[in-house]
Amino acid sequence: MDTFVVQGGNPLVGTIRVSGAKNSALPCMAAAILTEEPITLENIPQVRDISTERRLLQSMGAEIELGEGAALGRTTICCRNLSDPVAKYEIVKTMRASSLVLGPLIARTGMARVAMPGGCAIGGRPIDLHLKGLEQMGATITQDHGYIEARVNPQVGRLHGAELVFDKITVTGTEDLLMAAVLADGETVMENCAREPEVVDLAALLVTMGANIEGAGTATIRVSGVNKLRGARYRINPDRIEAGTFLIAGAITGGDLIVSHCNTSHLGAVITKLREAGARVDILGPDTVRVRNHGKLIAADISTEEYPGFPTDMQAQYMALATQAEGTSLVRENIFENRFMHVQELVRMGAGIKVDGKTATVIGPARLSAAAVMCSDLRASASLVLAALVAEGETIIDRVYHMDRGYEQIDEKLRGVGAQIQRLGNLFPPRAA
């Protein structure tokens, strides 16, 4: 198990490059199931969730070719033979997004068997809305031995279009049912859809494969099903959460950072909040943004919302910034019920934070001092790294495998702009029994 050792105090200065979006790459890889022809995806980030999804697809019979050298980031997936349309628990338990194969598997093969995802550090995370939609499209769902099985009536052979209204906005739920609808018989109208850029990315790939989709990026998506989809080549959009994390790194360290290869149009809520908190943010072009902070930060409240609101995936990182801002910041988490796991660790570093239900009250500025801390989930880890960058002394961050699930070479990237961060092997070996 790797550990980061971070010496705080250096302002980050220079240019830092954003990788492809993990949360776009995951559904786009699952979309390869929908066709017998190869799908080539560019700008795939080299992170652990992606290698987990590769293993998942391979276990079902997919052939996968990875680019090397300059083509690192290119992945070609061919699902000509799907010999085993089953997402096994061994893989699903390590990555909840595995449920994204449900829709495409049943659409392509008429049946899917997917292990039920368990809870995770940030909440219960059910997939009832995915299942409800599939049932409305004609699937029969059964559950046994921890698995969900979805089947279409063999006499009918395929799903049919339906009018679906999501009771709650769900990102992977929208993506899963979109992938089911593109091969369904007739028209599907989906209401109250997630409007996240990752949904738009997936829809753009599906259209390149021959799907008929209108309205991706709005609350209503209309799909007219086709009989067959073809191979395609598609470039994944930049990761807006990684970009946002870097913007906060620049602001919290009092640095001057240029964040390149991002999509600035996806960063509106985060940029607005950083400006409100006193950082100077200049958009230099459609894919480049500069953040500077030479004065003091001031408290500003956030409330997480679905896109285009402030992303829940940036809440933990923003909280690290709020610890350095003068005044009281209220951080309200509306999407997940248990996404404050980073609070206790930040408090151990000296932050003044109190949690009451959905709201954390952060009183700043706090002098953070280095401590041994532990990552609990992906974005919580990012929050601890950000806090460590301004803490006095050497912070030891354990369980950075959480971070490796979704941030590509974060230590190398941050070192490149002046952070003192080292990756070590396990500093806390398990005690002998």
* Residue number, 130 or 292, with CB nearest to ligand EPU: 130
Torsion of CA 346, 48, 270, 415, to 10 degrees: 70
**Helix, strand or coil, per DSSP, at residue 14:** strand
Using CA atoms, how far apart are residues 302 and 310, in angstroms rounded to an integer? 7
Extract the tokens encoding 394.
Answer: 């050497």
C-alpha of 162 from chain center? 28
- Asked if the bond preceding 365 is cis, omega within 30° of 0, the reply is yes
Pick 23 or 253: Cβ nearer ligand EPU: 23
* Three-class SS state of 398: strand
- Cβ nearer to ligand EPU, comparing 122 with 223: 122
Q: How far is the CB of 74 from ligand EPU (least distance, A)?
A: 21
| Cα–Cα dist 101/106, whole Å | 9
- Annotate 164-203 with b (16+ C-beta within 10 A) or e (fewer): bebeebbbbbbbbbbbbbbbbbeebbbebbbbbbbbbbbb
CB-nearer residue toward ligand EPU: 325 or 382: 382
Least separation, in Å, of the C-beta of 126 and ligand EPU?
4
Q: Identity (one letter) of the amino acid at 205?
A: L
Q: Which two tokens stand for residue 379?
A: 């974005």
**Minimum distance between the CB of residue 348 and ligand EPU, rounded to whole angstroms?**
22
Q: What is the closest distance, in whole angstroms, from the C-beta atom of residue 288 to ligand EPU in the complex?
A: 23
Point out the catalytic residue in the list 79, 120, 193, 262. 120
The residue among 128 and 214 lying less far from ligand EPU, judged by its C-beta, is 128
Q: Which is nearer to ligand EPU, 57 or 325 (CB)?
A: 57
On whether the CB atoms of residues 355 and 341 are closer than 8 A, the answer is no
Structure tokens at 179: 């992938």
- Whether the upstream peptide bond of residue 38 has omega within 30° of 0, thus cis, is no
Side by side, the strands of the sheet bearing 280-285 are 13-17, 256-260, 288-292, 280-285
Residue 374 pairs in a beta bridge with 398
In the complex, least distance from residue 53 CB atom to ligand EPU, rounded to whole angstroms: 10
Q: Residue 220 Cβ, how far from ligand EPU at the closest point, in Å?
A: 17
Residues that bind ligand EPU (CB under 6 A): 23, 26, 97, 123-130, 168, 170-173, 198, 312-313, 335-336, 378-379, 406
Told to judge if 79 belongs to the known catalytic residues of this protein, a careful annotator would answer no
According to DSSP H, which parts of 267-377 are helical? 268-276, 315-322, 341-348
CA nearest 249: which of 375, 367, 387, 398? 387
Q: Which is nearer to ligand EPU, 3 or 317 (CB)?
A: 317
- The least distance separating ligand EPU from the CB of residue 96, rounded to whole angstroms, comes to 6
Catalytically active residues are 120
